[in-house]
Structure 1
Amino acid sequence: MRRLAGAVAALVLALSLSSCSVLTSLDASPGVSPSSPVEAPANLAATLDEALDALASTETFTAHGTEHVLSGEINRKGAAVGYHSTALGDLAAGQILPGTASAADGHGLYEAQVSVSGTNKTSNDGYSTFFPASWTAQQVVDAINEAYGSRVSSGDGGYDGVTSGGITVHMYLDDSDLITTAYPVMEN
């Protein structure tokens, strides 16, 4: 029983140190030696994927559209892009840079400078606009879908749609009319 408890403690420790790719020194845990490394999850990708896969009504998004909006990503050019919701917490690749978040507007929307996987965003002076901090990932997807249903061309190659709550969502679509990105537009 003590050996099982030690192994469980080692596994919990390994999972809590997810930023490490391999843990090799858990001498204090019975049954785990430096010669038997315990692998931690790689960047929590499986957990992020599970969170994204659990979302309903994502058929209007490209394969990476929800990830782009909810987590942020590094594009083919190596630039940090996306990240418009904090709903996924630590599972998201994006982070708000400390001290950069604006006050929320009347809808709870705000903007902040962000980094994604340690790379600071440079487009839009490094800022992303965010859906309300109190919203779940599903609420974000539902609002984007609602705006998608009322979209009109914005003249810049994108589209604007408005939710029943009055939030304008700006979005870009691919050639199949699937959402590649969508973000809220703050009130002036």
Structure 2
Amino acid sequence: MRMTNLFFSLIVSTLIWSSVTQAKTCHQNHTAWSNTKPAVNVGHVITGEINKNGKAVGFHSRSGGHDPAGANMIKVLKGPNAKGIYTGQVTLCNGAGWTAKNGFSSFFPDSWTQDQVVQKIIEAHAAAGSPKTGKFSGKVDGITIEGYMCNEGQANCPKGNINTAYPLFL
């Protein structure tokens, strides 16, 4: 009887775990912009996206330590450091299933809200001299944030806006 109960508990636990891991709905994330000057591609930074080449890109924020819809933290690789920055392996929804991101993503502190992430990106951009094109790197609250501006001729990325930004894990 005891072995039967143990076996039954194991089966139920496995079924529950399986349903929990598969329960996350896969819906593809799309580009969305903050209402700031310059605007930040929050779709890319906060939830990640699948680029025109079918690659998973972005996803640098897990406010409250929670994955946003359409994104999954698979494994924390390093950290968090003293500032709360860490790196991890992630997957993003491609509309039909999940695509693993090559390499890793670095993450802003989980204690930061999405609005705080956007504000710190804007501050880092200003600290870098507010460039209109190319790469920028600025330090805010002891955290180095790198990013890239939208350039002339980029589809769905108006020139002068921030296309991506991420914290450096140091």
TM-score by length of 2: 0.68
State the one-letter code of the partner of 2:56: A
State the one-letter code of the partner of 1:128: S
- Report the CA distance between 1:61 and its aligned residue: 2.5
- Provide the rounded CA distance (Å) in 2 between the counterparts of 1:185 and 1:132: 11
- Report the CA distance between 1:103 and its aligned residue: 1.9
What's the secondary structure of 1:97's corresponding residue?
A: strand
State the one-letter code of the partner of 2:100: N
1:121 is aligned, of 82, 101, 118, to 101
Question: % of aligned pairs identical?
Answer: 35
Name the CA shift for 1:149/1:97 in 2 (closer, same or farther; >3 Å).
same
What's the secondary structure of 1:129's corresponding residue?
A: strand
- Provide the rounded CA distance (Å) in 1 between the counterparts of 2:119 and 2:128: 14
Does structure 1 conserve the Cα–Cα contact (< 8 Å) formed by 2:85 and 2:167? yes
The answer to whether residue 120 in structure 2 is matched with residue 143 in structure 1 is yes
Extract unaligned runs of 5+ from structure 2: 1-22, 152-158
The answer to whether residue 19 in structure 2 is matched with residue 43 in structure 1 is no
- Report the CA distance between 1:137 and its aligned residue: 0.5
Extract unaligned runs of 5+ from structure 1: 1-16, 20-41
- Report the CA distance between 1:60 and its aligned residue: 1.6
- Provide the rounded CA distance (Å) in 1 between the counterparts of 2:81 and 2:27: 33
Greater relative contact order (Cα 8 A, min sep 6): structure 1 or 2?
Answer: 2
- Report the CA distance between 1:121 and its aligned residue: 0.3
Q: CA-to-partner distance for each residue in 1:145-166, whole Å, 9 max, x for gaps?
A: 100111159xxx4110111x11
2:163 is aligned, of 180, 184, 187, to 180
State the one-letter code of the partner of 2:113: T
CA RMSD of aligned residues (A): 2.9
Q: How many residues align?
A: 134
What's the secondary structure of 2:90's corresponding residue?
A: strand
Q: After superposition, where does 1:10-49 map in structure 2 within 5 Å? A: 19=25, 43=27
The answer to whether residue 74 in structure 2 is matched with residue 97 in structure 1 is yes
- Report the CA distance between 1:144 and its aligned residue: 0.4
Q: CA-to-partner distance for each residue in 1:94-136, whole Å, 9 max, x for gaps?
A: 21114x34221121100001111110001xx2x0000001111
Structure 1 residue ranges, 4+ long, deviating more than 3 angstroms after superposition: 42-45, 88-92
- Provide the rounded CA distance (Å) in 1 between the counterparts of 2:82 and 2:144: 12
State the one-letter code of the partner of 1:70: I
Hey, what does 2:46 align to over in structure 1?
A: 70
The answer to whether residue 83 in structure 2 is matched with residue 107 in structure 1 is yes
What's the secondary structure of 1:61's corresponding residue?
A: coil
